[in-house]
Amino acid sequence: MEPDDRPVPSAELDDRRDGRDETRNERADRNWEELLQELRVMQTGTQILTGFLLAVAFTPRFEDMDEFQRDVYVVLVGLAAVATILALAPVGMHRALFGRRRKPELVRVAARIVKIDLVAIAALTIGVTTLIIDFTVDRAAGLIALVSSFAGVLLLWLVLPRLVRREAERGGADDET
């Protein structure tokens, strides 16, 4: 019998009250798969925004940007690079740790990196929206876009999940899925 094929002693079974009987490694495998799905979505969005930003520099209207807009543009290109690097970091870590039985640690660190990447992607998205509106309409509209985008991110990425979590903790949410 291979070491990984041995029966799992009950002490190694997960004791969380979520209805799952998972070992630490089974939970890590499941959480890694969920993280990969999140990373796929994040990478696609980041690639689209990065591609847009890189293409902007080669358009004739790029020269029409004022100094503030060019400064914002350069910051956004940097943010796009950071977001891309962060989104790829868990994959690189997985490759470096592959076969070393470190998946629970990998998942813990990767989850933190994903949270940091979400902040970078939020800033990038807010910034791109602000830059486009500022350039195509005017500075006042750009500031309105900045505030609106920031509020949208706060509401959808922070407030809504907390409300859902609070509702679930109260027992008011029946799982229909």
The count of C-alpha atoms lying within 13 angstroms of the C-alpha of 143, restricted to the half-sphere facing its C-beta, is: 3
Give Rg (Cα) of the chain.
Answer: 21
32-67: burial string, b at 16+ Cβ within 10 Å, e else? beebeebbeebbeebeebbeebeebeeeeeeeebee
Q: What is the pLDDT of residue 38?
A: 87
Give per-10-residue mean pLDDT for the chain (177 aa): 47 58 83 87 88 90 94 96 92 83 86 94 95 96 97 95 91 58
Q: What is the pLDDT of residue 67?
A: 96
Q: What is the pLDDT of residue 2?
A: 46
Q: What is the pLDDT of residue 18?
A: 63
Q: By CB neighbour count within 10 A (0-12 exposed, 13-18 middle, 19+ buried), where does 176 fall?
A: exposed
Q: What is the pLDDT of residue 5?
A: 45
Q: What is the pLDDT of residue 130?
A: 97
